[in-house]
A and B are shown apart, each in its own frame.
Chain A
């Protein structure tokens, strides 16, 4: 007797439904820019918390405008766009926390001389893990691409010899900006396709 969850395909479809219109990608792209900017100006990380709440609400609003009248409304026990926003926040905050610790014990905090080059690896790994979990649970191929891009970008921005004008802190920022660019381009493409292929259905007028 196999013990797999018989409702798993339905759970998967419900998760996919929440991410089908591409608005989550756009919201996460916007937040990745904010978190990337906050890695340059650390005081902005507190502001990023406010943006997290605002973008979670924006995500709900966008879904209501774009998806609800096309594919229906479903509220899940967990909110996938919010989980992705939290992952992005964690990628920024945890990486900066590690940098703060390392630089604190080696002189003035945030000192670029002691800022490690491998910070994109930490942030990229967290982002890749978040995208991978989403891709697996929702069976959405484009999230596998995001996970691969996060991992690849992490290695690239860690190892690529940019020259003296790009400091270790910029490497981390560039990773977030590059991921934001990918999410934005992909999100727009998904959204346009979604709107073109899913017509707005007539208002239901209370069916039951």
Chain B
């Protein structure tokens, strides 16, 4: 009889999408996933991120193809409209499923 503890396969943790895994970007994606689209101010307010932080996270998410950034005007006022893409939504769901799956295997 072996006393060796049961081995838990945590390998999927290593395969988590690093773009989504960062808490700030995860917040942005989650926030955008419940609206059709939103402007910069709304996302900043909802996530609590600073303007600089949000800008850099958005640049990374846009580069990954997870959000689209559209610069428009509301009257004469500039407005940056943000929208989660199909692949962004899929990445968010896949991340959530993988994380839930790994956490479910943890003992205790």
Residues on the A chain within 8 Å of B74, using CB: 64, 68, 73
Would you call A97 an interface residue if the criterion is a C-beta within 8 Å of the partner chain's C-beta atoms?
A: no
Rounded to whole angstroms, the CA-CA distance of A125 and B54 in the bound complex is: 45
Would you call A166 an interface residue if the criterion is a C-beta within 8 Å of the partner chain's C-beta atoms?
A: no
Identify A73's interface contact among B30, B31, B41, B55, CB under 8 A.
Answer: B41
Residues on the B chain within 8 Å of A196, using CB: none
Residues on the A chain within 8 Å of B105, using CB: none
Please encode chain B, from 55 to 96, with 1 for each CB lying within 8 Å of some chain A CB and 0 for all others: 100110010000001010010011111000000000000001
Rounded to whole angstroms, the CA-CA distance of A9 and B100 in the bound complex is: 19
Would you call B34 an interface residue if the criterion is a C-beta within 8 Å of the partner chain's C-beta atoms?
A: yes
Residues on the B chain within 8 Å of A17, using CB: 42
The A contact surface, by secondary structure, is loop
| A203, B36: Cβ atoms closer than 8 Å | no
Cβ distance A163 to chain B, nearest Cβ, rounded Å: 51
Identify A72's interface contact among B34, B38, B58, B62, CB under 8 A.
Answer: B38
The B contact surface, by secondary structure, is helix
**Given A206-B80, A207-B40, A207-B54: A72 in contact with B45 (beta carbons within 8 A):** yes
| A208, B59: Cβ atoms closer than 8 Å | yes
Residues on the B chain within 8 Å of A201, using CB: 41
Rounded to whole angstroms, the CA-CA distance of A207 and B52 in the bound complex is: 8
Would you call A114 an interface residue if the criterion is a C-beta within 8 Å of the partner chain's C-beta atoms?
A: no
Identify A75's interface contact among B37, B54, B80, CB under 8 A.
Answer: B37
| B35, A75: Cβ atoms closer than 8 Å | yes
> What total of A-B pairs shows CB separation below 8 Å?
82
Task: Please tell me the number of chain B residues within 8 Å of chain A, measured between CB atoms.
Answer: 33
Residues on the A chain within 8 Å of B17, using CB: none
| A7, B30: Cβ atoms closer than 8 Å | yes
| A73, B34: Cβ atoms closer than 8 Å | no
Report the contact-size class of chain A (Cβ under 8 Å from the partner): 20 to 34
| B71, A206: Cβ atoms closer than 8 Å | yes
Would you call B44 an interface residue if the criterion is a C-beta within 8 Å of the partner chain's C-beta atoms?
A: yes
CB closest residue in chain A, given B37: A75
Rounded to whole angstroms, the CA-CA distance of A52 and B42 in the bound complex is: 28
Residues on the A chain within 8 Å of B79, using CB: 73, 204
Given contacts A17-B42, A204-B40, A208-B58, 15 further A-B contacts (CB under 8 A): A1-B104, A7-B34, A11-B34, A71-B45, A72-B39, A72-B40, A73-B38, A74-B39, A75-B35, A76-B34, A76-B35, A76-B36, A77-B35, A206-B78, A207-B54
When A and B form their complex, which 5 residue pairs have the shortest distance between CB atoms, in order from nearest? A72-B42, A72-B41, A74-B38, A75-B36, A73-B39
